[in-house]
Chains A and B, each alone.
Chain A
């Protein structure tokens, strides 16, 4: 399958600190999860892929164009790209429709009728079509996040880059989000940076884990989960040297990693278990 995105030996520094250090991977159509503790370089990487910033070393090719090429080449990428930043603060006094109308203009939707039809389409996709005239400041946090997600869908882009899109969404909204994303993945490529491992298990084909600015894992989700097999335990007390332990709803204690005591039962692993085992204490500290 041809690569939509090719990242080759990319390094990005802020001062002396290498936030991304010799990162390489390819993306093909489907949904790829990008996991990693806070500060691992996920947001920086998404900024590079979206052409909003540039690498210090290495090459990134997106949809056949270099991100460090001339402006005309970057414009070709931007025309086929949908990007959701980690945080979007909305201009004061703007309505939901007005915000999307502006982003559609930035995406070169110059025909007013077509642009407004597209705005209504994406509002409907995120379930906000009944309140186009509401001021953004009157929307709830989840509704604002859906509105921000809606702008990334304008123009039905070939590549969607999403930075923590489900933050603040309730379970029903997350289910709707997953359905929309699954629909999108049939025709395009989605890179989903998230801390929600349930989302990864639900919709992703592949998972890349960044730790300390480097790729610590790159493979399919089933293989990632399998890497934690026979390393997750259920017992009546915590495993002493486990990476993480918590009370299981069944009444016992679930321990991830560590040396199982006599009588401990192996539990079926999840994406979260595999992630905790891979990242180790950094994941637990990051979540704290």
Chain B
């Protein structure tokens, strides 16, 4: 705290509204942290009679408002956008923390997609196609696992021991991953993939992979199912390459299988979250 304190003259000027906005803000910022100066200001503001006093010179009320404004964390642009969409303030707080915890994953995803795009421009086209089809559908699934793994030690225990709905937490982590990774991946796909419908064809497989990881993570740490799903998906893409059907991902049978797997995994996830899941990061015990 600074050595400067409010004297009687400043207090009187403040009470009589003779300070300019900058001086006023400076006095208020100091008074939030200094009880003595609040008392001095209170005495200064009680000079005028009650009838002369404006409502905002109720100092206790004023300090409470100033303190609240100073201490409350900034909602930020994305937070304000979520609030406008009808998301509750509590969920905005959760998304802010999820974003802070998952920054490393977001940077890694952006880097991987950028490298894929550069490889597509500079290297063999077929290799870029294959690389993108391996990476893109796995990004949300790996991202969901990462958002759980990146929770700092201790906070993970507090999250598990709190009554906050595990399903709600999973929803926001998944939403964060989808919002930060999918639009970038779709854009890169539009550049990399030169085949009708290919740029968005990976979305349903991505959904299936993500739901499989989420459902399996109600049994285990999310990393293990994420690794298993990643291996399985890589095997599928390699098989397509070996059979010389690299665009099989765009066909109706592949999309239908992705839908079926997604529905099955979603039902299993719902059952696990609603019933009695065994200990895991996602199920909240």
Question: Is B52 among interface residues, defined by CB-CB distance under 8 A?
Answer: no
Cα distance, A130 to B35, chains bound together (Å): 10
Question: Is A258 among interface residues, defined by CB-CB distance under 8 A?
Answer: no
Q: Mark B267-285, 1 if CB is under 8 A from A, else 0.
A: 0000001111111000111
Chain A interface SS verdict (over half): loop
**Out of B100, B164, B277, B284, which one reaches A91, CB within 8 Å?**
B100
The answer to whether B161 and A50 touch across the interface, beta carbons within 8 angstroms, is yes
Q: Which of B43-51, B67-75, B110-118 contacts A (4 or more CB under 8 A)?
A: B67-75
Closest CB-CB distance, B279 to chain A, in whole Å?
Answer: 5
The answer to whether B161 and A52 touch across the interface, beta carbons within 8 angstroms, is yes
Cα distance, A47 to B160, chains bound together (Å): 10
Cα distance, A50 to B285, chains bound together (Å): 9
The answer to whether B164 and A108 touch across the interface, beta carbons within 8 angstroms, is yes
Residue picked from A86, A90, A91, A97, most chain B C-beta under 10 Å = A91
Which residues in B have their C-beta under 8 angstroms from that of A130? 1, 33
Which residues in A have their C-beta under 8 angstroms from that of B1? 130
Question: Is A195 among interface residues, defined by CB-CB distance under 8 A?
Answer: no
Cα distance, A107 to B90, chains bound together (Å): 10
Which residues in B have their C-beta under 8 angstroms from that of A98? 73, 96-97
Q: Are A91 and B279 also in contact (CB < 8 A) when A97-B72, A133-B71 are? A: no
Q: Which of B6-14, B133-141, B149-157, B173-181 contacts A (4 or more CB under 8 A)?
A: B149-157
Question: Is A151 among interface residues, defined by CB-CB distance under 8 A?
Answer: yes
Q: Mark A61-101, 1 if CB is under 8 A from B, else 0.
A: 00000000111001100110101011111111111011001
The answer to whether A75 and B163 touch across the interface, beta carbons within 8 angstroms, is yes
| Total of A-B residue pairs, C-beta within 8 Å | 116
Q: How many residues of A contact B (CB 8 A)?
A: 46
Q: Nearest CB to that of A82 among chain B residues?
A: B161
Closest CB-CB distance, B180 to chain A, in whole Å?
Answer: 17
Q: How many residues of B contact A (CB 8 A)?
A: 41
Cα distance, A93 to B274, chains bound together (Å): 34
Q: Nearest CB to that of B33 among chain A residues?
A: A130
**Out of B93, B157, B166, which one reaches A102, CB within 8 Å?**
B93
The answer to whether B166 and A93 touch across the interface, beta carbons within 8 angstroms, is no
Cα distance, A115 to B93, chains bound together (Å): 12
Cα distance, A189 to B22, chains bound together (Å): 50
Which residues in A have their C-beta under 8 angstroms from that of B285? 51-54, 71, 74
Q: Mark B57-74, 1 if CB is under 8 A from A, else 0.
A: 000000000011011110
Closest CB-CB distance, A38 to chain B, in whole Å?
Answer: 17
The answer to whether A78 and B94 touch across the interface, beta carbons within 8 angstroms, is no
Q: Nearest CB to that of B32 among chain A residues?
A: A130
Within 171-200 of A, Cβ neighbours of B (below 8 Å) are at none
Question: Is B106 among interface residues, defined by CB-CB distance under 8 A?
Answer: no
Which residues in B have their C-beta under 8 angstroms from that of A54? 278-279, 285
Which residues in A have their C-beta under 8 angstroms from that of B103? 92
Question: Is B88 among interface residues, defined by CB-CB distance under 8 A?
Answer: yes
Cα distance, A75 to B167, chains bound together (Å): 13
Within 66-106 of B, Cβ neighbours of A (below 8 Å) are at 67-68, 70-73, 88-90, 93-94, 96-97, 100-101, 103
**Out of B71, B101, B153, which one reaches A120, CB within 8 Å?**
B71
Which residues in A have their C-beta under 8 angstroms from that of B70? 132-133
Closest CB-CB distance, B217 to chain A, in whole Å?
Answer: 15
The answer to whether B73 and A93 touch across the interface, beta carbons within 8 angstroms, is no
Q: Nearest CB to that of A103 among chain B residues?
A: B158
Cα distance, A167 to B50, chains bound together (Å): 52
Closest CB-CB distance, A19 to chain B, in whole Å?
Answer: 15
Q: Are A105 and B93 also in contact (CB < 8 A) when A89-B152, A91-B100 are? A: yes
Which residues in B have their C-beta under 8 angstroms from that of A47? 157
Question: Is B16 among interface residues, defined by CB-CB distance under 8 A?
Answer: no
Which residues in B have their C-beta under 8 angstroms from that of A105? 90, 93-94, 164
Q: Are A88 and B154 also in contact (CB < 8 A) when A107-B164, A108-B163 are? A: yes
Q: Are A91 and B97 also in contact (CB < 8 A) when A71-B166, A71-B277, A97-B71 are? A: yes
Q: Nearest CB to that of A75 among chain B residues?
A: B163
Q: List 15 A-B contacts (CB under 8 A).
A: A53-B285, A70-B275, A71-B284, A74-B285, A85-B157, A85-B158, A88-B153, A90-B152, A97-B72, A101-B73, A103-B162, A105-B164, A106-B159, A110-B90, A120-B67
Residues of A within 8 A of B (CB): 47, 50-54, 69-71, 74-75, 78-79, 81, 83, 85-95, 97-98, 101-103, 105-110, 112, 115-116, 120, 130, 132-133, 148, 151
Residues of B within 8 A of A (CB): 1, 33, 67-68, 70-73, 88-90, 93-94, 96-97, 100-101, 103, 152-155, 157-164, 166, 273-279, 283-285
Which 6 A-B residue pairs are closest in the complex by CB-CB distance? A88-B154, A106-B162, A89-B152, A132-B71, A78-B163, A98-B73
Q: Given known contacts A88-B158, A97-B73, A105-B90, what 15 new A-B pairs fall within 8 Å (CB)?
A: A54-B278, A71-B273, A87-B153, A88-B154, A90-B152, A92-B100, A101-B93, A105-B93, A106-B164, A112-B89, A115-B90, A116-B71, A120-B67, A120-B71, A132-B70
